[in-house]
Amino acid sequence: MIDLRRKSQAGAEVFTSAMNDIMFFLMLFFIIISTLLNPNMIKVNLPNSQNSQAVHKKEINITINEKKQYFVNNQEVKFEEIEPALKSEVDKNKDAVIVLRIDKSLNIQELVNVLSIGSKLNVKMTIATTK
């Protein structure tokens, strides 16, 4: 008599060799996305400060990079256009705080020029620094 039964039972297997690749790509994706978390900021080398505090109100950013390009809320403007752009932003939100993000390689006159515009508009301004 011939034995027609199977000699061994096939067990359920889960192949996880591709799981390493999937995890690597997910990790890479999240690292790239986390660096783009705040894409609205313009890269500037800020001056250092020993004491600092966070601003928790609505912010209006004025940025001056090392090439002396001016930005109001990440939109490039000429120096002559800062005052009208700033005035329109302040009119939208009266309680906003203007945060000056000025590259540390620039001279103090660039800071004074922007501060005088803020003084003329009678707005609160603060300087962004790194700790």
Using alpha carbons, select from 80, 9, 74 the residue that is nearest to residue 38: 74
How many C-beta atoms surround the C-beta of residue 129 within 10 A? 16
The pTM of this model reads 0.59
Q: Let me know if residue 4 belongs to a domain.
A: no
| Identity of the residue numbered 126 | T
Quick one: average pLDDT of 11-40? 80
Secondary structure class of 105 (helix, strand, coil)? coil
* CB-count exposure of residue 75 (10 Å: 0-12, 13-18, 19+): exposed
Considering the chain, what percentage of its residues have pLDDT values greater than 70?
Answer: 76
CATH of the domain at 87: 3.30.420.270
Residues 48-81 have pLDDT tens digits of 666 666 655 688 888 998 888 999 888 899 989 9
Q: Let me know if residue 42 belongs to a domain.
A: no
Q: Which pLDDT band holds residue 121 (cuts at 50, 70, 90)? A: confident
Q: Let me know if residue 2 belongs to a domain.
A: no
Q: Let me know if residue 64 belongs to a domain.
A: yes
Domain assignment of residue 120, given as a range: 59-127
pLDDT score for 78: 92
Average pLDDT of the chain, as a whole number:
81
Q: Let me know if residue 13 belongs to a domain.
A: no
pLDDT score for 59: 82
* pLDDT of 2 strictly over 70: no
* pLDDT of 41 strictly over 70: no
The more confidently predicted of residues 99 and 51 is 99
Q: Let me know if residue 113 belongs to a domain.
A: yes
CA 65, 68, 72, 75 torsion-angle sign: negative
CA–CA dist 40, 20 (Å, integer): 34
The number of folded domains in the chain is 1
* pLDDT of 114 strictly over 60: yes
* CB of 46 closer than 8 Å to CB of 128: yes
